[in-house]
Amino acid sequence: MRFGVVVFPGSNCDHDAWHAVTHNLGQPAEFIWHDSSSLNGVDAVILPGGFSYGDYLRCGAIAKFSPVMKAVKDFAAEGGLVLGICNGFQVLVESGLLPGALLRNRDLKFVCKQVPLRVETTNTPFTSLAKPGQILNMPVAHGEGCYFADEATLRKLKSEDRVVFRYAENPNGSLDDIAGICNERRNVMGMMPHPERASDALLGSADGLVVLQSMLHTLVLSGAEREKVAVLPNPTSIHA
């Protein structure tokens, strides 16, 4: 299964994501430049962390106009898996692929440390191999990671089981301790913690690998289903 890692000017976790996929997950991955109008037929897309376009206007606000984001939106509309990590989460929110906003951290300081996350739902392609309530340790590194949404949106996220991760120890003031959410179709997820930086025990935690493994598991299953359908006989060719 081929993963595509989008690279914006200012991305700084693109190689981390590429390494996690190729070396820790054992799958092929390629970089996709921000001005590309095509995703080159990849099976899943990762929007990595960093500071796209320097985040001079607002985190992710300029990146949403990149040509590649039209391709990402089309890919998501067709059911493709899209994972946004940190700045990638901010880009997904700014692009309208996910609701809410990411604001300045509660203490107005950049936070960089390992944090415990709780898996709130396994009913997503990104957490299907995790356990409900499982605690995962992953690092955060952001200055604007405080998730905010109005009450109606928060209620909808909760009622539709779309809060994927919550902080066990909230580092940034995110409402409802939200660390990651998914869209209504459940094929797009954004999260502030970095699973790619927790994909090898040498990094202090390999807990983040469950996110990538879940994605791969979903892709393999969907591929098997497509092959199964492809070999079914054409009903019009079957005679009683």
- Residue 237 has a pLDDT of 44
Max distance between CA atoms of the chain, in angstroms, equals: 73
Q: How would residue 195 be classed by pLDDT, with cut points 50, 70 and 90?
A: very high
- Residue 239 has a pLDDT of 41
User: pTM of the prediction?
Assistant: 0.93
Rounded to an integer, the average pLDDT of 129-144 is 98
pLDDT tops 70 at residue 225: no
By annotation, the residues acting in catalysis are 86, 194, 196
Helix (H, G, I), strand (E, B) or coil at 76: helix
| 89-105 per-position pLDDT tens digit | 999 999 999 999 999 99
With a pLDDT cut of 90, the percent of the chain lying above it is 90
- Residue 228 has a pLDDT of 60
DSSP 132-162: TT-EEEEEEEESS-EEE--HHHHHHHHHTT-
pLDDT tops 90 at residue 227: no
Backbone angles phi, psi at 147, to 5 degrees: -75, 130
Length of the chain: 240
- Residue 236 has a pLDDT of 46
- Residue 59 has a pLDDT of 93
Helix (H) / strand (E) containing 118:
strand 111-119
Among the ranges given (1-5, 50-54, 136-140, 233-237), the one the predictor scored with the smallest mean pLDDT: 233-237
pLDDT tops 70 at residue 80: yes
Helix (H, G, I), strand (E, B) or coil at 69: helix
Name the nearest CA neighbour of 142 among 49, 6, 18.
49
| 107-122 per-position pLDDT tens digit | 999 999 999 999 999 9
